[in-house]
Amino acid sequence: MSSPIGVFDSGYGGLTILQQLRKKLPEHDFIYLGDNARAPYGPRSFDVVYDFTRQAVLKLFSMGCHLVILGCNTASAKALRSIQQNDLPTYNRLHPLPSEAPDTAWDGNRVLGVIRPTVEVLGSLTTSRHVGIVATEGTVRSESYTLEIAKFHPDIVVTGQACPLWAAIVEAGEAESEGAEYFVRKRIMQLLDKDPLIDTIILGCTHYPLLMNALRRVTPPHIRIVAQGEYVAASLADYLHRHPIMARHCSTNGTTEYYTTESPERFKECAAMFLHEEVEVHHIDL
């Protein structure tokens, strides 16, 4: 039985990931779920983020998704590993494929994040081997990027910078304002003060690509600014190529459905800002 690919985010930022997934895999079906009613996740504890993310993943599973992408850095940092190690084995044991769609090689539903795809390509992006991460406080404090980068590129020096207000500025529609540029400059300068050798900055929050104009104005031109979307999309395409059984169970009608735990009208307004198109949105409870 084929099904859409689920994409989850605590809010709207995951729409930047979805946009690139649709661009890379236009034939696939997607369901986007935003837990906007409980956003932001960044300041919340590991246990709370895990609990909320687990609820969303199980909801997407119940909606027929066999593969879920956590289009949220905080969820990827604080919840992905626990879900993969603790929840998926039990879920897959209790929920085999329906009898009308047996597959003897099927090994169960999967959940993927957005941190590893960016980290995997990082070695080819930096020359100085000094990298900066701008992200929410929760992602920076988790040190998920630092730990993941150390696995793949132990020679790279990583410096994190929490960026309070950036996501809120984006959601308020103020990404091009003078105030946005002030706060972007403040955090970029703090980051570069910590390590002047940085030549690559990863945008470790999916909201931040909407601040790209301000980022380019305030960041020295020799520094590469890395948005995650295209790397996550390329990684997913490669994953489906390497896992043909999962690919066979992902439907391909080119459709996308949107769900939010908050107001559909508010979601539609923000989605138009992120996606530059009008979408139909449905309310959902977790």
Which of 136, 133, 139 has its CA nearest to residue 118? Answer: 133
> Would you state the structure tokens that stand for residue 272, as one six-digit string?
């138009």
* Cα 281 versus chain centre, distance: 20
> Would you state the structure tokens that stand for residue 90, as one six-digit string?
């039990």
The span from the CA of 211 to the CA of 204, in Å, is 12
Active site residue 205: yes
Catalytic residue among 65, 163, 205, 250: 205
Catalytic residue among 65, 72, 163, 270: 72
Cβ contacts of residue 189 below 8 Å, gap of 6+? 218
Strand partners, 5: 30, 67
The span from the CA of 236 to the CA of 202, in Å, is 19
> Would you state the structure tokens that stand for residue 52, as one six-digit string?
């909320």
**Catalytic residue IDs:** 72, 205
